[in-house]
Amino acid sequence: MPLANKRPGGRILPARRLIPQVEPQQQFDKIALAINEIYKHNVSQLSFEEYYRTAYNLVLSKNGPLLYNGVRTVLETHMRESVEHSILQRAQTADSNPTTENNEAFLFSVRLLWSEHVTAMLMIKDILMYVDNIYVKAAHLPSIYEMGMCVFRDTVLLSSTGSGGLGTRVAKAVLRQISGERNGEEINRSTLQGISNMLVELHDTASPIRTVYEVVLEPQLLAESRVYYRDMTALRIKTMGASEYARAVQADLDAEADRVQAYLALTTADLLRSVLQDELVTAYAPDILTIPDDGLTQMLDRRDIPALRVLYNIYSPLPQPLSVLRSGVLNHILVLGGQITESLLATDPGETKSGSTPQPKPEIAPEASLGLAAKTAMALRWVQDVLGLYDVYDEFFHKSFSEGPSMRSAINDAFIEVINANSRAPELLSLFMDDNLKNGLRSKAEQDVDHLLERSVLMFRFLKNKDAFEHYYKAHLARRLLFARSESDDAEHSLVSKLKVECGSQFTLKLEGMFKDMQLSMDMARDLRASSEYSDIGLDLNVSVLTPTFWPAMAPAQQPSSQATAENSTAARSDDPTSVILPSGVLSDSVDVFSAYYLKHHSGRRLTWQYAMGNADLKVQFGTRTHELNVTTYQMIVLLLFVDDSNSSSEKPLTAAKIQQLTHIPKEPLARQLQSLACGKYRILNKTPKSRDVKPTDSFAFNMDFRSPQYRIRIPVVSARSNIETEKEKAASQAVIGQERLYLIEAAIVRIMKTRKQIPHDILVNETISQLAPRFLPSSKMIKDGIGKLLDREYLQRSPDDPRLYIYLA
């Protein structure tokens, strides 16, 4: 390219920045003057833009260290002068004469200095913003504001030279003010709040993660609080009852919480509360509950719900005191529950005290029924009283114990022990349910019935031996179903459903089977009436056909049940009730017709008639008067002996021995039937002699002169005992329950072994207990016996290498 076409080279440089030629020290003096004017509150006369530019020039001219250190020196000087002029004298006065006013004056002056310093530093920070952004960041120094806070801390509060080091004095003054407020003096809380905020904002020199508040004030506050409340507790525990003491403690806790919220650091709340709890509660937890005349026992006895609520509130956050309270409540329930059980045992319901010799029972007499009824009433009262006691503590649980899980477990554990301490608890609970389902549902609303059932199931839940309850409940249910004594079928089914929820379908399988038998019997009765065979029956016959595996094996001489049981086996389940002879005629013919009808439709089955377990309605003519009598089947058989060939009543007497010979009714139940007919309220028969006991030679004749204003009369049977089992009957029931438990244990072991194939002895025992716990608690011996029987029958074998290891044999 030709040279003539080349453009000339070169570049234009920026003009050099002209910095005023002013000495750095002069520039800093200008800023120092501004800082002092800020502290003097002469801000209106200052140009912040001018001082910002001055600081800017100092940094730009590499004089950042001069500016930063110089500002620090100015701040330190101002702090020292301020302390000497306006604070030191007040501090000395507060130390020598520590009145509330002197403490307030001293703390107020410190707070005022701090407040003015913070305000000034915010302005100084704005002036020196460029210093923070450029020099401070590059030099890794604290910001101007942070440096100012450190100056205040090191010069005013923590300095060990000159007139500084006011931190300890500030802390003591604060503590004196707190002590005065605790003793009822009025103080300026806003001043203390300002002091606390100051100490919280400043961080310790040695440990920056801790605040000056945590180093100077908080430890002393906690230590003095501990001493104060320790002395206070020692005095209170001697002069106050438990309820008053609990209220005082709660007031202290609330007061300290309010104090923290008002003017202390929030981090102090838990620490201070812990101090109070240690000194006011934990140290005296057992002593508070046992204060004479006003301890936990008295509070529970008088049902002082508010006082118990306060007591629980101060005990519940602390594991050890809560455990003490829990034990106190549990033990009180055990005492009251024991008293309820003792009152039951005092009635001696069919059992003798340990070591005593049973006395022979007297002859049956109608007067005895009152005492027996009283024993039954006491048994029912036991259940009612236990449930009533539970209601009281359930109210405590909801209203006083804040539904705390620890207190719920204490209440439940106590009632489990109370209930199961009574060996008759399963029987009595079943009797209670029986009584209510027969007599206790009248005029009750649906919700009241459901509440009653829930209470019953609640007590059932506490039973350990639920299989024993099932044994008694089946017997009571059988009576209600077969004699139509239940007031509500819905309530019956509802209760069984609730039991099913508690223990599963296997537990209620037989109970549901009983209901099913009754329904099938009703359907069969309807079909029979529609059949041609019904015309051959000369009376209105209703038969309940029962499946033996569902229904209890009840003694026919004592317990009512169905009129017939149907079996697939060839053996009848009874005390040979078929030996009873029915009067020839309509009754015996009707039984034969029904038997033929049933077996025609159910081939391969066998009926066993239970005559002791039925009832009948008879129309009886007494001269010109006619009454309808509701009697047992045995009573009906006896009365039919007094009917002559013309179906008229006969006054021809029969002896008790002759009646027994003609009917084959066992002697003991026959005696009760005769007593009911001749010695009770309704004397259908005349007895000679007029004694109340029945002897074989006693004579009975039809009472043609019988009078009653009622047309329909139910003849009650004189009971040989109360509804509670005698010792003999109880032993028999325990034998039945024990045998059933053996079957359940063996079945559980087989189930476990089928799953595990082989298992050590201890694990097998534990798993068996776990499986059976919902029904009963088997002992290790029972499980060992079950294992032994399964070994004998070769369901299991021991391992050749380890005799404590079992192997399942399919």
**Where are the chain's structural domains?**
18-100+109-169, 319-350+363-507, 520-572+581-605, 614-714, 727-808
Q: Which residue matches tokens 């109970």?
A: 511
Q: How far apart are CA 401 and CA 407, in angstroms?
A: 7
Q: How far apart are CA 596 and CA 602, in angstroms?
A: 10
Q: How far apart are CA 542 and CA 102, in angstroms?
A: 102
640, 685 contact by CB (below 8 A): no
Do β-strands 625-632 and 712-714 pair in parallel, antiparallel, or remain unpaired?
parallel
- pLDDT for res 536: 67
CA angle 35, 39, 43 (to 5 degrees): 75
Q: Give a three-class secondary structure readout of 310-325.
A: HHHHHHCCCHHHHHHH
- pLDDT for res 153: 92
The DSSP symbol for 581 reads P
CA–chain centroid gap for 396, Å, is 11
Please report, as a single letter, which amino acid is at residue 708: S
Q: How far apart are CA 46 and CA 450, in angstroms?
A: 85
23 token code pair: 């000495």
21 token code pair: 């030629």
List, in order, residues 6 or more apart from 41 with CB less than 8 Å away.
none
- Cα distances from 302 to residues 117, 247, 296, 305, 422, in angstroms, run 61, 17, 10, 9, 26
Please report, as a single letter, which amino acid is at residue 620: V
Q: Say if residue 287 is exposed, middle or buried (CB neighbours under 10 Å; 0-12, 13-18, 19+).
A: middle
Q: How far apart are CA 461 and CA 458, in angstroms?
A: 5
- pLDDT for res 380: 86
Which residues of the chain fall short of a pLDDT of 70? Answer: 1-22, 160-164, 347-373, 375, 536, 538, 554-578, 644-651, 719-723, 810
Do β-strands 796-798 and 805-808 pair in parallel, antiparallel, or remain unpaired?
antiparallel
Please report, as a single letter, which amino acid is at residue 80: R
Q: What length is written for the chain?
A: 810
> In the CATH scheme, what architecture does the domain 614-714 have?
2-Layer Sandwich (3.30)
460, 453 contact by CB (below 8 A): no
Buried b (16+ CB within 10 A) or exposed e, 402-441: eebebbeebbbebbebbbeebebbbbbbbbbbbbbbbebb
Q: For residue 267, how many other CB atoms are within 10 A of its CB?
A: 14
Provide φ and ψ at 464, rounded to 5°: -85, -40
Q: How far apart are CA 462 and CA 415, in angstroms?
A: 7
Q: How far apart are CA 110 and CA 187, in angstroms?
A: 16
Q: How far apart are CA 766 and CA 748, in angstroms?
A: 11
Q: Which residue matches tokens 């076409």?
A: 5
CATH 1.10.357.10 fits 18-100+109-169, yes or no: no
- pLDDT for res 438: 86
691 token code pair: 């004694």
What does R_g of the chain's alpha carbons equal in angstroms?
Answer: 48
Q: Where do the H-state alpha helices sit in 422-465?
A: 425-439, 446-462
- pLDDT for res 527: 85
Q: How far apart are CA 192 and CA 114, in angstroms?
A: 13
Q: How far apart are CA 57 and CA 22, in angstroms?
A: 10
Q: How far apart are CA 521 and CA 240, in angstroms?
A: 71
709-736 residue pLDDT tens: 899 999 888 764 446 777 887 888 888 8
Q: How far apart are CA 699 and CA 717, in angstroms?
A: 19
125 token code pair: 């920070």
655, 342 contact by CB (below 8 A): no
For domain 727-808, give the fold.
Arc Repressor Mutant, subunit A (1.10.10)
